[in-house]
Structure 1
């Protein structure tokens, strides 16, 4: 695990969010810092505020109160369009034309567009896209239409796309959603290799399942009803007691060879 104190890439200080129309509290007094080289898991029940936090550090939403700093820039004092271009974001809900071949999908990460802007991609950019396909172990998908790729292949293409901007921060919003077991394991290994190959990269992964966490995960944040229940080194946070408090039912937590397993504690 990476326990060093790298530079802060995202900091939330006293952050709260309320729904404008109803005044409903979405996040309440959140303090949290992500540093370079750290790999965070963001966990909690549905409605706990995980996606809202991801939108804040992804510069796609603003806090009601408190401050958010991302890559040294405070939200509200920076052109968020330029800031977003420096943050890698992966979500299975991203719009990708199904007929676009894998290499073109990755190229769109350079221009930040849905469709390729072919005139903006010189030879160096095109070669970088090929190199990322190789790094993510999907170079055979260069000419394959996105629409016929498996869920796991699509996830790795989207990660390669996000890395085109060479971000210091990579946000992954439920990247394992709807993956079968082999695809899930391939993606977990991809995340492990990515952490090894890019020691300065910080990642935040939203997930519902501990089984989806790669051995590279170094830290965890537990959310419940919009508040931080626990945050810190993964071994200190993913415990039986804290997971039980977070999800409101007995949870047994075990770890083997760097991988996590959670199950209901009242099962025989």
Structure 2
């Protein structure tokens, strides 16, 4: 499997409105991508195509060697981990659960442990907690955690199924700067677990060293995509953000400021 994602000439129409317009995008093995764009640019719609929750009106989609229309989408989804703020609707269910049980529950795609757990699965959960610097939270219940700790726990849960593709959809949304940096720091460890990362955001400072490539979206279209150093230019970002901006690099991360030109 050389291509993790292969999307060619995809259109998606909802209620007569063209949401995605002739989108083409390929993710090769070993690459880790950020998807950038303003709210309403089509990022979430594209993710829903990748995960099979939206079906393209037109075009070709293959994800993890699963060609849409020719293979089982539910089986494909078992190989994908997704972390989104939308999962916060399950907080009431999670609030009284232990952190280690929430991470472990990812093995069974449940929000709770309802079956016998093998020793190997418990060892894997402990390894994930160590990698994500969550081991100090063992024995604590979810409701006592900070927002950043909760977000990292949910990422740990997604990793428990050993996903080949991990999608982080604006995982730092609503976090303060300390919690944001905590979440961003763990993306460096995701690479060691042999998952391919898709990181969705509209804040370029969240693009850490682990990200190799960037896709820019505007108004349902791909503006450009490729290696992050080539794509993240002042000109390209001024285009997608619809305001003049300047970009500079510091500590191997891009930063943005508004231009006076």
Bin the TM-score by the shorter chain.
over 0.9
| Paired position in structure 1 for 2:171 | 175
Could you list the runs of 4 or more consecutive aligned residues of structure 1 that deviate by over 3 angstroms after TM superposition?
none
For the pair 1:202 / 2:202, whether they are aligned, the reply is: no
**Aligned runs of 1:146-161 on 2, under 5 Å?**
146-161=142-157
Q: What displacement does 1:189 show?
A: 1.5
Partners of 2:144 and 2:28 in 1: CA distance:
37
Aligned to 2:158: 162
Equivalence for 1:211:
205
User: For 1:61 and 1:117, how far apart are their aligned partners in 2?
Assistant: 30
Deviation, 1:85, is 1.0
* TM-superposed deviation, 1:266: 2.4
Structure 1 residue aligned with 2:7:
12
Give the Cα–Cα distance (whole angstroms) in 1 for the partners of residues 173 and 19 of structure 2. 23
Q: Which residue of 2 aligns with 1:262?
A: 256
Partner of residue 185, structure 1: 181
> Using the alignment, how far apart are the partners of 1:238 and 1:143 within structure 2?
42
| Aligned partners of 1:14 and 1:67 also within 8 Å | yes
For the 8 Å contact 1:48–1:226, the answer to whether it is kept is yes
Distance 1:146 1:58 in 2: 27
Shift of 1:37: 2.0
Aligned with residue 104 of structure 1, among 98, 101, 106: 101
Q: What's the Cα RMSD here?
A: 1.5
How far the C-alpha of 1:163 sits from its partner, in A, is 1.0
Partner of 2:112 in structure 1? 115
TM-score norm. by structure 1 comes to 0.91
Report the alpha carbon displacement of residue 235 of structure 1 after superposing the two structures with TM: 0.7
Deviations 1:5-45 (A, max 9, x none): x82111111111010xx210110111101122211111111
What CA distance in whole angstroms lies between the structure 2 residues aligned with 1:143 and 1:222?
Answer: 41
Query: Normalization by structure 2: what TM-score?
Result: 0.94
8 Å contact from structure 2 (residues 79, 163) kept in 1 = yes
Residue 236, structure 1, aligned to residue 233, structure 2:
no
Do 2:34 and 2:215's aligned partners in 1 also have CA atoms closer than 8 Å?
Answer: yes
Cα offset, 1:243, TM superposition: 0.5
Q: Quick one: distance in 2 between partners of 1:60 and 1:10?
A: 15
